[in-house]
């Protein structure tokens, strides 16, 4: 994508974040909005190697959200990337949804690690990167963290 297309995608993701949090009646808009450009660049700027049709593909790049309260940003990004339908974004924090307040890797494709505690994802990302290096598997590991 060119710069204008990336800016438009980031704007669409921001709109989804605000809609999701408003409909849910709870959430963390600041933390989600603050990482939108980073997620847009990673997922749509040709940085990350991923396949929504095969989210566990060997050799894929991985993204760890080390500030789980920014889950709406990750959810909107994953939906726009094709991991699940964008219509599902309206279920954020509702009973029975896969879109919990913090990402759950057991529920949603594209979520590599369940996170919540601030900063825990950094150690997970470092360990995952070391493990990939030790096993010789291809793939980069990216993480975004914050202090809340």
Domain residue spans in the chain? 3-144
pLDDT at res. 118: 73
Give the global pTM.
0.95
pLDDT at res. 139: 96
pLDDT at res. 116: 74
Average pLDDT over residues 15-37: 95
Contact between 75 and 8 (Cβ < 8 Å): no
pLDDT at res. 117: 74
pLDDT beyond 80 at 29: yes
Give strand pairing partners of 63.
142
Looking at domain 3-144, its CATH class is alpha beta
pLDDT at res. 115: 84
Integer Cα distance of 141 and 104 in angstroms: 18
Say how many C-beta atoms besides its own lie within 10 A of residue 146's C-beta: 16
- Residue range 66-124, pLDDT digits in tens: 988 899 999 999 999 999 999 999 999 999 999 998 999 999 999 999 987 777 889 99
- pLDDT band of 148, cuts 50, 70, 90: low
Using alpha carbons, select from 128, 26, 130, 112 the residue that is nearest to residue 74: 112
């Amino acid at each position: 994508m060119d710069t204008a297309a990336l800016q438009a995608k980031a704007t669409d993701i921001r709109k989804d974040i605000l809609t999701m949090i408003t409909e849910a009646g709870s959430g963390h808009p600041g933390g989600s909005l603050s990482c939108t450009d980073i997620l847009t660049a990673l997922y749509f700027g040709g940085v990350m190697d991923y396949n929504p049709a095969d989210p566990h593909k060997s050799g894929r790049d991985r993204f760890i959200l080390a500030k789980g309260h920014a889950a709406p940003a990750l959810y909107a990004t994953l939906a726009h990337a094709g991991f699940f339908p964008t219509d599902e974004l309206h279920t954020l924090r509702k009973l029975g949804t896969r879109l919990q307040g913090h990402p759950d890797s057991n529920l949603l494709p594209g979520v590599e690690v369940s996170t919540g505690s601030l900063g825990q994802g950094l150690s997970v990302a470092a360990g995952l990167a070391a493990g990939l290096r030790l096993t010789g598997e291809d793939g980069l590991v990216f993480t975004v963290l914050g202090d809340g």
